[in-house]
Structure 1
């Protein structure tokens, strides 16, 4: 832009203003950005300093920039415009929306958000980095860092009969990677899988990616299956794999009694069905002595999988699995995949366990989760006006809710999205798109925000949708 021949504030400031406005719109909206100085901008645009000052003053009056003494002008952070791909699935839309700045994500499940071990983990990592010079640390450990594998084997060993060795443990980039490799190693691609319903969306997506036929078995409000119905399914369908939660189901939150789990494991063993036990929320059950499927399962048809981030935090995203049978097949697929994970970070995670930091952390996290759950439940009861049925969970980080009147939660999600509130509709927890009258709300969220008002908006959106012809 050449304004050298028309450098009058009454004319030039408009061009400077448009230039700055374009600069602001192109900058990240959720992070404060330093603007060009008055003199730099005047030199860049070949205008007078008075023109740039006038343009900045106009933007400051409009709330687009802020002046900081002796530092200059800065952009004002603002909510991001909603960007949505028309072809995106509901699941992708939910998670893309939750990540946008300025959104209140009521359905994002992150237990460690309330209390994490990220800082202690990084402190231990820095100390270990000084103890282990880079040249002494192997860069390639395809099955995971030996110390962490050994620690996990010890943690999962319950007795001489229920024991694990380090060679049974494999560590990878994340939970979904572990599922992918486990299904491939055990030749389960394209087979029939049985899952609890509602089911983790990550599990469903990975089974779909493996071209598996998925049979969904509904859970009652008490967290139990209809055992007679389950037995018929196992008798009539060629099920090769069952994916079940170790303690409380996520997101439903129920806790199945030990006798039910024992019977289910007996039927799976009789039919030589692989049991994949999802232990991601196993330690977040409010009942510390809760029974696990692995207490009763056939060890030759058992694979346990989980990730560290639910308990430790975002700095520990790695997934892991334990499996006694077919170790050679697992080694083969892990060698093929070739994970390049930080050995120092894995050693630091191991130190968190051996120093009992994780154990002490869980003793604080579980009561905190339960207290926030009860508070969220009380808010829903106060504002719900009878439109939502609440079943108190026995663990985890979320409430599973059902509308008391017929309503499509996908449409409720759309209504709330326009108000910058994100919920997790129930149908993303079903491969067949069932559970349309349900939703997941998490109580591990930013409690500095007005959650009560957000829940009132949720209730109003449900009521408005229920009345829509």
Structure 2
């Protein structure tokens, strides 16, 4: 019981820090402005003074505010980007997707989360070596059986049990029978969309959106309507409702925890309202939870935790938290479960037995949880180092998010910049950027850029950041 109280206290101060961040990036608190006193903030938000202090310390560590002796807290000169105009985006007609070919080129270069994919990487963590041993052991066991038989389409029961336990630790009471193993999160999202939509249906997406989802929507001939999101607090239920009342939306794809590209995380009460909205309008929420385990300070509850009637389809994998190479994911389909299992059978037939068994035993022995404890702190250090490098190297106006989890941040350059036009010239120097144009169907983010802290901002990657400074500043 004591542990539960600690988790809730941490969650309140994290939410409060997110609220303060929202005040900054919407312009309610402007650069160089003095914040209200701790006592005033405590009274305004109905929390203890110590909770306010923790939240301000968090913002100070993230570089959003600074403490001045005997003067209080002030908003730093450089802050996160303003939220795109809600009115402009909400009036957008649903339309079919036509994505630029840059996405395919980035993936062909293995550069989705790396400026310099050919640069040296860290030595493999001990947990990855342990994972390989578990997989190797599983491959050696029952060779004849594995060679002659498929697993059931729902996947290995032991692995599903471990995934269910993982979610139970995030206050999401999933049962192993509610899960189906897939070939990764992208495969899960594909099955989710196939299960609840037909060609020509309208799907709502966050804006900026994950380009992998936009690619799926294009392939499935689904119409898209974009909904603006806060760079820190994500999608608001009121904005989704405005779209649902105007257009015949069948599903909405949401990354509720540490979304790419912004790193936004939706507060618990807003998640509850989104799930209630889905129930009210007969809407399916498709949750991309691939970053849910990568919170630096807390493990947020997924949307699925608030789902009582099967309106949320949860999709995830270990590709961001453990290994890109191990193409194993999962999906909890709610009321669409049976159809999803059938679609998996048609499209994939079965998942590899040895990989599933190896991952299941790796998780059962506690290695995955121990890996996450180390990896979260590593990512936090790499986020801080990336921000320090940017602030040191980029001597021109730009804005950025300071995500509290995930592996990427979102940068806004001056309006006249079009990051996509730099893509090909930078390739000649072995630098691969991820332009903002990939994250919208409507061209709303041409002057934006996603940068990842999945690798340290040192050596060739720091040199690449310095080169980008020259390019974006117009120095050739």
Q: Are positions 1:155 and 2:174 aligned together?
A: no
Asked whether the equivalents of residues 184 and 329 of structure 2 are also in contact (C-alpha less than 8 Å), the reply is: yes
Asked whether the equivalents of residues 157 and 163 of structure 1 are also in contact (C-alpha less than 8 Å), the reply is: yes
Q: Report the alpha carbon displacement of residue 140 of structure 1 after superposing the two structures with TM.
A: 0.9
Asked whether the equivalents of residues 415 and 461 of structure 1 are also in contact (C-alpha less than 8 Å), the reply is: no
Q: Are positions 1:307 and 2:308 aligned together?
A: no
Distance 1:295 1:281 in 2: 16
Q: Are positions 1:92 and 2:104 aligned together?
A: yes
Match of 1:236 in 2: 246
Asked whether the equivalents of residues 111 and 432 of structure 2 are also in contact (C-alpha less than 8 Å), the reply is: no
Distance 1:304 1:112 in 2: 32
Asked whether the equivalents of residues 151 and 353 of structure 1 are also in contact (C-alpha less than 8 Å), the reply is: yes
TM, length-normalised to structure 2: 0.72
Match of 2:13 in 1: none
Select which of 415, 423, 434 maps to 1:413. 423
Distance 2:265 2:444 in 1: 22
Select which of 123, 144, 153 maps to 2:155. 144
Asked whether the equivalents of residues 296 and 380 of structure 2 are also in contact (C-alpha less than 8 Å), the reply is: yes
Select which of 148, 171, 174 maps to 2:181. 171
* Structure 1 residues 119 and 372: CA distance shift in structure 2, 3 A: same
Q: Deviations over 1:140-161 (max 9, x none)?
A: 12221222122222322369x9
Q: Deviations over 1:310-338 (max 9, x none)?
A: 12213421221012323332232222224
* Structure 1 residues 138 and 154: CA distance shift in structure 2, 3 A: farther
Q: Deviations over 1:404-435 (max 9, x none)?
A: 34210111223322322111001111123331
Asked whether the equivalents of residues 423 and 433 of structure 2 are also in contact (C-alpha less than 8 Å), the reply is: yes
Q: Are positions 1:245 and 2:267 aligned together?
A: no
Q: Report the alpha carbon displacement of residue 137 of structure 1 after superposing the two structures with TM.
A: 7.2
Asked whether the equivalents of residues 188 and 240 of structure 1 are also in contact (C-alpha less than 8 Å), the reply is: no
Q: Report the alpha carbon displacement of residue 353 of structure 1 after superposing the two structures with TM.
A: 1.3
Match of 1:461 in 2: 471
Q: Are positions 1:296 and 2:306 aligned together?
A: yes
Distance 1:315 1:194 in 2: 30
> Can you give the 5+ residue segments of structure 1 that lack an aligned partner in the other structure?
1-86
Aligned length: 375
Match of 1:37 in 2: none
Distance 2:206 2:161 in 1: 31
* Structure 1 residues 391 and 163: CA distance shift in structure 2, 3 A: closer
Distance 2:203 2:123 in 1: 32
Select which of 190, 196, 200 maps to 2:200. 190
Match of 1:43 in 2: none
Match of 2:67 in 1: none
Match of 1:255 in 2: 265
Distance 1:107 1:253 in 2: 22
Asked whether the equivalents of residues 106 and 445 of structure 1 are also in contact (C-alpha less than 8 Å), the reply is: no
Give 3-state SS (helix, strand or coil) of 2:310's partner.
helix
Q: Report the alpha carbon displacement of residue 379 of structure 1 after superposing the two structures with TM.
A: 0.5
* Structure 2 counterparts to residues 318-467 of structure 1, below 5 A: 318-445=328-455, 449-464=459-474
Q: Report the alpha carbon displacement of residue 104 of structure 1 after superposing the two structures with TM.
A: 6.9
Q: Report the alpha carbon displacement of residue 213 of structure 1 after superposing the two structures with TM.
A: 1.1
Q: Report the alpha carbon displacement of residue 242 of structure 1 after superposing the two structures with TM.
A: 1.0
Asked whether the equivalents of residues 423 and 439 of structure 1 are also in contact (C-alpha less than 8 Å), the reply is: yes
* Structure 1 residues 129 and 256: CA distance shift in structure 2, 3 A: closer
Q: Report the alpha carbon displacement of residue 403 of structure 1 after superposing the two structures with TM.
A: 0.2
* Structure 1 residues 251 and 115: CA distance shift in structure 2, 3 A: farther
Q: Report the alpha carbon displacement of residue 138 of structure 1 after superposing the two structures with TM.
A: 6.2
Distance 1:323 1:225 in 2: 21
Match of 2:62 in 1: none
Give 3-state SS (helix, strand or coil) of 1:283's partner.
coil
* Structure 1 residues 114 and 379: CA distance shift in structure 2, 3 A: farther
**Structure number, greater radius of gyration:** 1
Give 3-state SS (helix, strand or coil) of 2:473's partner.
helix
The more displaced of 123-132 and 252-261 is 123-132
Asked whether the equivalents of residues 387 and 405 of structure 1 are also in contact (C-alpha less than 8 Å), the reply is: no
Asked whether the equivalents of residues 280 and 305 of structure 1 are also in contact (C-alpha less than 8 Å), the reply is: yes
Give 3-state SS (helix, strand or coil) of 1:253's partner.
coil
Select which of 319, 327, 330 maps to 1:317. 327
Q: Report the alpha carbon displacement of residue 270 of structure 1 after superposing the two structures with TM.
A: 0.6
Distance 1:390 1:187 in 2: 35
The more displaced of 307-316 and 192-201 is 307-316
Give 3-state SS (helix, strand or coil) of 1:190's partner.
coil
Q: Report the alpha carbon displacement of residue 289 of structure 1 after superposing the two structures with TM.
A: 4.0
